[in-house]
Structure 1
Amino acid sequence: MTNYQEPFTFQSGITVKNRLMMPPMTTLQSFYDGTITTDEIHYYAERSQGVGAVITGAANVTDMGKGWPGELCIAHDEDLPGLTNLASAIKAQGAKAFVQIFHAGRMSRLDALNGKQAVSASAVAGQHGDGSQKTATPRAMTSAEIHQTIDAFGQATKRAIEAGFDGVEIHGANQYLLQQFYSPQSNQRTDEYGGDREKRFTFIKQVLDSVFAAVNQYADRPFVVGYRFSPEEFTTPGISLEDTFYLVDQLLQTPLDYLHVSLDKYDRIAQADKYQAKSILAYLHERIAGRKPLVGVGGVRNRKDVAGLLANAEFAAIGQQLLVDPTWVQKLMTGNDSDMVTGDFADAIKYTSFTHPLYQFLVPRY
């Protein structure tokens, strides 16, 4: 089992001081145009003091990729001053700073796109939660738009390097654009980007190629590239765990530094009857077999959870607990477990200092 206090050196050469990460979380603290606020910088700095690495919330790589108002933006050179300040604030606390880059695709809110129709792999509406709520139907991206988006991921990586970040995480999870291209539910294309698993992986492969090309051309120092994915979809058709095994096999053949699985609970069991013997995380860890580090996440609140997660991963990401308990890692490291915030998150957010946009976002969730 992995020791959470051990340092780790990624393939690219970056060393983190421990095996704990802050995962990407939506905070709605940027200005409408994506400009980073002072409040946002303070929020990240406060939670960067104990973890080995911080992964920022999603930053859109194009204006059409914006998912919601208040989101980080890495689509323009004008974003560089704020991004630079954010990277510096995280690194000043001793953590490595990774920025998550993404395109929301059909999950973009109408108010984020100024009324424009969202785009996706195909003109198929998305689903929220249990599927009872659907997004507006997007339009299928043209070949030219696909190529422009692929290039935008490379340009975003260049800006991340220029801003001083230690790495980027490509967001291929949570029903956003890269997942939309891989899913048989959302991708019904008949060109080179649609069809069987191999063809549905084409867009992801080309995004990866664009990101790595930017790293090779512009990085003057070691620079991490990670990839986040969701292991299952609840639609039929949809991404199955076996589809994810294929995806992982392809990702393992790239220069990626780590894989990051998006889970609500680190011990979650798969839907398929064939994979009920152990957790999704355990199956993935077994599949990867040490070829790349795996980041697990979902419901880590105490020391026992850290141990439980790290039985099947190289890194534990702590999200909601850090949200309400910014010094939780320091408490873990010093044995002050009794000071950790416990109880329902609905109660905890009442006693945590949040900006108004973030608080208003959290209340209906909890």
Structure 2
Amino acid sequence: MTTAFDPVDLAGTPLRNRVVMAPMTRSRAPGRVPTELMAEYYAQRASAGLIISEGIQPTPEGQGYPDTPGLHFAEQVAAWRRVTDAVHAAGGRIFAQLMHAGRIGHPSVLADLPGDLHPVAPSAVAAAGQLYTAEGLKDYPEPRELTGAQVRQVIEGFAAAARNAVEAGFDGVELHGANGYLIHQFLAPGTNRRTDEWGGSVDDRVRFAVEAVKAVAAAVGAERTALRISPGNPFNDIDEPDPLPAYTALVAELDPLGLAYLHVLEASPEVRDVTTQLRKQYSGTLVLNPATDGPTDHGVLTLVEDGTADLLSFGALFLANPDLPARLAAGGPYNEPDRATLYGGDHRGYTDYPTL
């Protein structure tokens, strides 16, 4: 019987176990450049089978939040190399998550960058809610609708950032197609009201995700390319009342590509049926960020044993427990995450969580 603690080959990348550190924005990259403290943070968690980095903007306008890192200029590439070297020295593996926030952002976050930058999206539909900025909470603005030519430029931006990620020493890249960010905005009918080749029918709404994945795979290899999705996730004002048709169409396009993995985030227990359907349809490696009854629900480990997933990813639990695989194997105990220090700040609530 396969367990979460067994090694696995991830399209040629050997992993020591099947416990994955999920991507988590921490907003600790002033000037959009990774720091030595970030290298320490990730290296502390290198006992994971795989680390997936925090969301990294592939292009300047893809930034959604203050103090998030990028992979679009040389200083960032060099700084990320220090992070990946630290993880590899500790015996770990790390993928870069490329996250274009789309309409989830604000011009004030981009104000110090050259050019007239503004959040963009498939359609000019503002998200409900507010964003924390250096100037306080601000309503999400109406985004600029991407032209067809600009859509192609964004796709090339993903590919260029993927090349930078490999140059920076990452073992691969994961495109963020979940949680209401740009790729998810193309998939969802409420945020994608286009009538051209990039919107309308299910096949056209999934086109952006497919083309972005194909472009990254062409740039760095399919074995180094992955995609994260969250079917039916309402986060960031997304409305997907019937997600299954779009995601089965998407997976049908992805399955022949030979990707490193498909990463499914369950926003609630109600979408397990969707996960089960996608698991049956997808012949490659599936990483699951499962909906649980609590942060220390050990029942989730059986999801590897029963074949629901090949690997399991954990977010806040890994944030607070740098040695999470050992704690899962021992049945705990677990540190509780300090919610006050999740975003921004110094080492407190970042690199000072104790190990067993």
Q: TM (normalized to structure 2)?
A: 0.84
Alignment match of 1:306 (pick from 301, 309, 313): 301
Which secondary structure does the structure 1 equivalent of 2:256 belong to? coil
Matched, 1:171 2:171: no
Q: 1:44 aligns with which of 42, 45, 54?
A: 42
Distance in 1 between the 2:118 and 2:147 partners? 14
Measure the CA separation in 1 of the matches of 2:339 and 2:244: 38
1:36–1:195: structure 2 CA closer, same or farther, 3 Å change rule?
same
Q: Which runs of 5+ in 1 are unaligned?
A: 217-221, 271-277, 362-366
For structure 2, the residue ranges without an aligned partner over 5 or more in a row are 131-137, 351-356
- Equivalent residue number for residue 257 of structure 1: 260
Q: Is residue 2:11 matched to residue 1:6?
A: no
The whole-number CA distance in structure 1 between the counterparts of 2:176 and 2:214 is 15
> Structure 1 residue 279: deviation in Å?
4.2
- Backbone CA RMSD of aligned residues: 2.8
Structure 1 residues 323 and 96: alpha-carbon distance in aligned structure 2, compared to 1, 3 A threshold: same
Structure 2 distance, partners of 1:233, 1:332, is 27
Residue 83 of structure 1 corresponds to 80
Counterpart selection for 1:349 from 331, 338, 341: 338
Query: Does residue 204 in structure 1 map to residue 209 in structure 2?
Result: yes
Q: Are 2:188 and 2:239, in contact at CA under 8 Å, matched by a contact in 1? A: no
Sequence identity (%): 29
* Counterpart selection for 2:63 from 66, 71, 81: 66
Counterparts of 1:134 and 1:350, CA distance in 2:
23
**How far does residue 71 in structure 1 lie from its aligned partner after superposition?**
0.8
For 2:353, the equivalent position in structure 1 comes to none
Q: Does 1:316 align with 2:312?
A: yes
Q: Hey, what does 1:155 align to over in structure 2?
A: 160
| Deviation, structure 1 residue 151 | 0.9
Q: Give 1:295 shift.
A: 0.8
| Amino acid aligned to 1:228 | R
> 2:159 aligns to what SS in structure 1?
helix
Secondary structure of the 1:170 match is strand
Q: Which residue of 2 aligns with 1:273?
A: none
Pairing partner for 1:242 from 221, 241, 245 = 245
- In structure 2, what is the equivalent of residue 27 of structure 1? 26
Q: In structure 2, how many angstroms separate the alpha carbons of the residues matched to 1:147 and 1:29?
A: 30
Residues of 2 paired with 1:244 and 1:358: CA distance? 39
Distance 1:350 1:237, change over 3 A: closer
Structure 1 position 281 matched with structure 2 position 309: no
The offset of 1:40, in angstroms, is 1.5
Cα displacement (A) at 1:153: 0.9
C-alpha distance in 2, partners of 1:358/1:124? 38
Tell me the CA shift for residue 352 of structure 1: 8.9
Give the AA of the match of 1:79: Q
Match of 1:103 among 75, 100, 103: 100
Contact 1:233–1:239 (CA<8 Å) still a contact in 2? no
- When residues 60 and 17 of structure 1 are mapped into structure 2, their CA distance, relative to the original with a 3 A threshold, is same
Distance of aligned partners of 1:352 and 1:178 in 2 relative to their CA distance in 1, 3 Å threshold: closer
